[in-house]
A and B are shown apart, each in its own frame.
Chain A
Amino acid sequence: MINFDTTPIASLIEAGYTFADMQTYVIVMIALVVLMTIADLLHKGSTTYFFNAAAKAEAQLAAGNADCSVGKEDTRLTQLSAGDKAGILVSTIVTDVATAGEFHNPVRRLVHILTMYGFILFNAATAMIIFGEAETATLATVWNLGAIMLLVGSFWFWFSFKVDGQAEGVAWNSITLRKDMFSLSLMGTSLTALGWSIYGGGTGVWFALVLLSTASLFGGVYWSKFSHMFFKPAAAYNKRIIQANGTNENLPHETRFGGATPEDDDFQKNRHSMELLVDAPMDMGLGIKREAPKHY
């Protein structure tokens, strides 16, 4: 059984390792994440894309209202104040980062939250124990809970979302190392950490498996999707900014009422194409989203 009051890290001290050894390992892992994330950014060109998109939006804002030959003048282009941007940053952190608001599918969202917080708790507790050079009962509980959450989240993801027999014919045991490296590393790290904990720690097979799993998780950033945890918040913030300043990647903003200004609403009401909706309810309910997408 899992003992929530201890972690197997203490058993390494008994086996002759020092906290300095463990700190070295953690620092090497952090350095690998940093280096490989930079390599990943350079390889994908993500930063170039973001800066180009931001420059394009700025140019649109600077040019002012677009010349609308049909329809209302585009009055929604607005320069955001520092306060506006701070508010958007807070809502990005609360909605998109902390609660995975990007996912409309509630199960997918729950799976992501479990995996994300499991990962954070597990790694934070590990770092605090190793760099604090002391293990408390609270930290041990957090370490074990984090590992369990990571285990549930990563395995749930694998069997509910990765396995897609209906659409893509991907069976649970169909593994492509390059594609599945991130998921497998997360599953492996949580599973081996808990196995290591249950079987009393030490420097045996479980410890070797923990080292292997963590090395592939942090050392394989260049090939896995690990770095999404850095660029997704930036992308979510950018998405909210361009929505607020009106540039919004050229997306239209017309809809029935609910416009930026009352004049906007009047304009929409009086469009000849909207005559059919004059007496229609304002909430038509869900159309395509009445059924969950099942991939055919």
Chain B
Amino acid sequence: MPTFVYMTRCDGCGHCVDICPSDIMHIDDKYRRAYNIEPNMCWECYSCVKACPHQAIDVRGYADFAPLGHSVRTIRDEEKGTIAWRVKFRDGRVKNFLSPITTQPWGTKIPDFRNEAEPSDEMRNSELLAFEPKYIRMDDGGLHTLESNKLSLKAGGEYHESL
């Protein structure tokens, strides 16, 4: 379901370019408007759709699984702290949803991790971390290096465990 841009709504601000995790939203050199340079690589995360201040980006579903004539559109209202979705089915039914996207004013509750307490031994030994790789080293050990993790560089840039 790749995104596309309504050129008449876009003002070329670049928010979608900044936020796209696949780096496929770009600004057209000629028209100074955004466009999806590689629709096949779009994983329909809707980041750009929600970030666009002009609601200029929409998502076009592939016809093999998204019924023709449907529509899923959204408006993220930052000032009010809400996101609204409007799902229109092919048969004309419409569903409207409204959810909070923040419960505190923006920028006022950014955690300062430097001042956060370190995880306790109990946390480190928790069964919740049972499947984490040992290399994350949730302990008080020294600097994480290839050597301390018994790793070495292999030709071609990959690494492997020294056994």
Distance A271 CA – B96 CA, assembled complex (angstroms): 11
Contacts of A173 in B (CB 8 A): none
| B106–A71 touching, CB < 8 Å | no
Distance A179 CA – B28 CA, assembled complex (angstroms): 9
Contacts of A283 in B (CB 8 A): 79-80, 105
- B interface, how many residues as a size bin? 35 or more
Contacts of B32 in A (CB 8 A): 161-162
| B80–A295 touching, CB < 8 Å | no
Q: Specify which of B95, B99, B106 is in contact with A286 (CB 8 Å cutoff).
A: B106
A43 CB to nearest B CB, Å:
14
| B71–A250 touching, CB < 8 Å | yes
Contact digits for A83-123, partner B, Cβ 8 Å, 1 yes 0 no: 00000000000000000001111001000000000000000
CB nearest to B18 among chain A residues? A293
CB nearest to A291 among chain B residues? B18
Cβ < 8 Å to B, chain A residues 228-264:
228, 231-232, 235-236, 238-239, 249-258
Known contacts being A162-B29, A289-B78, A294-B14, is A254 close to B106, with CB within 8 Å? Answer: no
B92 touches A (CB below 8 Å): yes
| A276–B100 touching, CB < 8 Å | yes
Distance A235 CA – B105 CA, assembled complex (angstroms): 34
B108 CB to nearest A CB, Å:
8
CB nearest to B88 among chain A residues? A250
A168 touches B (CB below 8 Å): yes
Distance A13 CA – B89 CA, assembled complex (angstroms): 69
Contacts of A103 in B (CB 8 A): 11, 13
- A interface, how many residues as a size bin? 35 or more
CB nearest to A103 among chain B residues? B11
B120 CB to nearest A CB, Å:
30
Distance A296 CA – B77 CA, assembled complex (angstroms): 23
A222 CB to nearest B CB, Å:
13
| B75–A274 touching, CB < 8 Å | no
Contacts of A170 in B (CB 8 A): 29
| B84–A254 touching, CB < 8 Å | yes
Contact digits for A153-194, partner B, Cβ 8 Å, 1 yes 0 no: 000000001101001101000001011101000000000000
Which candidate, A61-69, A132-140, A144-152, A203-211, is the interface stretch facing chain B? A61-69
B67 touches A (CB below 8 Å): no
CB nearest to B81 among chain A residues? A284
Contact digits for B79-115, partner A, Cβ 8 Å, 1 yes 0 no: 1111011101000111111111111111100000000
Contacts of B24 in A (CB 8 A): none
| A69–B107 touching, CB < 8 Å | no
Cβ < 8 Å to A, chain B residues 59-86:
71, 73-75, 77-82, 84-86
Q: Specify which of A179, A235, A254 is in contact with B29 (CB 8 Å cutoff).
A: A179
Contacts of B78 in A (CB 8 A): 284-289
Known contacts being A108-B11, A286-B106, A289-B53, is A74 close to B100, with CB within 8 Å? Answer: no
| B86–A281 touching, CB < 8 Å | no
Contacts of B86 in A (CB 8 A): 250-254
**A104, A281, A285, A296, most chain B CB atoms within 10 A:** A285
CB nearest to A294 among chain B residues? B18
A-B contact pairs, 11 of them (CB 8 A): A68-B95, A102-B11, A104-B11, A170-B29, A239-B8, A255-B77, A255-B84, A274-B98, A283-B80, A286-B106, A287-B107
List residues of B whose CB falls within 8 A of some A CB. 6, 8-9, 11-15, 17-19, 23, 26-27, 29-32, 51, 53-55, 71, 73-75, 77-82, 84-86, 88, 92-107
Q: Please provide the 3 A-B residue pairs with the shortest distance between their CB atoms, ordered closest to farther.
A: A71-B96, A252-B86, A235-B8
List residues of A whose CB falls within 8 A of some B CB. 63, 66-72, 74, 102-105, 108, 161-162, 164, 167-168, 170, 176, 178-180, 182, 225, 228, 231-232, 235-236, 238-239, 249-258, 268, 271, 273-274, 276-277, 280-290, 293-296
Known: A66-B94, A286-B106, A293-B13. 7 other contacts (CB 8 A): A66-B93, A102-B54, A168-B27, A180-B29, A252-B96, A290-B107, A293-B17
